[in-house]
Amino acid sequence: MSDCSRRDFIRTSGNILGTTALSGLMLSCHKNEAMPGKWAGFKYAMCNESMAELSWTEQCRIVSDAGYGGIEIAAFTLVKEGVQEISPAERKEMVSVMKDMGLECVGLHWLLAPPPKGLHFTTPDAEVRRKTVAYLNTLIDFCGDLGGSYMIFGSPKQRDTRDISIEQAKKNFAEGLMKVADHAQQRGIEILVEPLGKRTTDVINTLAEASEMTEHINHPTIKMMFDFNNTVDETEPFDVLLRKYHKNIHHVHVQEIGGKHLGTGNAVNDYVKAFQVLKDMRYNHWVSLEVFDFSPGGKTIATESMRTLKQIEGKLI
């Protein structure tokens, strides 16, 4: 963990939560899950990498003040070599800060983005795959310690083909997920396959491909997610895709097409049908803001995007 984050831990609290308190908070991460037959409304979260230069407390404060209920973490923003650097005491303090800010931990994304370097999930190099699976298990424990419930498997450069066929890469992808599935289930975490455009990777580019893989694995902890910006290789509109695959979609990433924050484009109009489907289907997982243009700063990104999300909600019936 960075020196800034370590100082922040010390500054924000003189007492470390006990194991019992942490366990109780982890359970509370599910408190907003809708009961069968009911719908509790949308749950909004924000990804943290646009605020990576800030302390953990400052990141959480921005997210909370803007009205989000959760924070989603790119673990590489917190470390120099890997999440093993973050001690049990520091993890408990991260939970304490989230709790104080009224936030829940959604989970992790950008799972294999460096650091650490040299990881690859689908490579023909069996030793590299072994090390990558081992680190994914380490991330599962980190996510579980923070009370997170979801791990979004995007990481395009760590799952593309490397002198092997796409089919072999998919096979390696599925085998790697099966190796960690039971451990994820023990920690109460779902690993969600993210379809990504061919512009970033050549392995799993559509919801149909993600659905095929998750059905092949057939494990309760391996599901899929939907990202508005990653639909470039789809041939159907957002609302049709969501209606078709909603049973396996356990997470949504939202941003303007192109990756800027909400409110800078036409999402306020273009996403209404999609959000109407989510409402009609009583979607009770998270909708997380993930952007790729950090230049406006975390506070502007958070507040303007939340304003747009509420405008979209206002158009629903």
**For 29-38, 39-48, 82-91, 280-289, which range has the lowest pLDDT when averaged over its residues?**
29-38
CA dihedral 47, 52, 56, 60 (to 10 degrees): -40
Higher pLDDT pick, 55 / 5: 55
Q: Residue for token digits 């639909």?
A: 231
Residues whose CB falls within 8 Å of the CB of residue 151, separated by 6 or more in sequence, listed in order: 107, 108, 109, 111, 139, 140, 143, 184, 189, 190, 191, 192
* pLDDT digit string, tens, across residues 111-145: 999 999 999 999 999 999 999 999 999 999 999 99
pLDDT > 70 in the chain, percent: 88
Cα atoms found within 13 Å of the Cα of residue 75, Cβ hemisphere only: 34
DSSP classification of residue 245: H
pLDDT at 207: 98
Residue 196 makes CB contacts below 8 A (sequence gap 6+) with 154, 156, 204, 205, 227, 230
Nearest alpha carbon to residue 83 among 91, 75, 95? 75
Write the CA distances from 30 to 72, 114, 183, 248, 286, integer angstroms: 15, 30, 19, 18, 11
Cα angle value 103/288/268 (rounded, 5°):
120
Average pLDDT over every residue of 63-69:
98
**286-289 and 43-47: which strand pairing?**
parallel
Tokens of 194: 């993210």
How sure is the predictor about 37, in pLDDT bands with cuts at 50, 70 and 90?
Answer: low
Quote the mean pLDDT of the chain: 91
Q: What is the pLDDT of residue 19?
A: 36
Under a CB-based contact definition with an 8 Å cutoff, are residues 121 and 172 in contact? yes
Query: 229-275 pLDDT, tens per residue?
Result: 999 999 999 999 999 999 999 999 999 999 999 999 999 999 999 99
Sign of CA dihedral 295, 299, 300, 305: positive
pTM for the whole structure: 0.88
Helix (H) or strand (E) holding 316: none
Calpha distance 284→41 (Å, rounded): 7
* 3-state per-residue secondary structure call for 29-41: CCCCCCCCCCCCC
pLDDT of amino acid 80 = 96
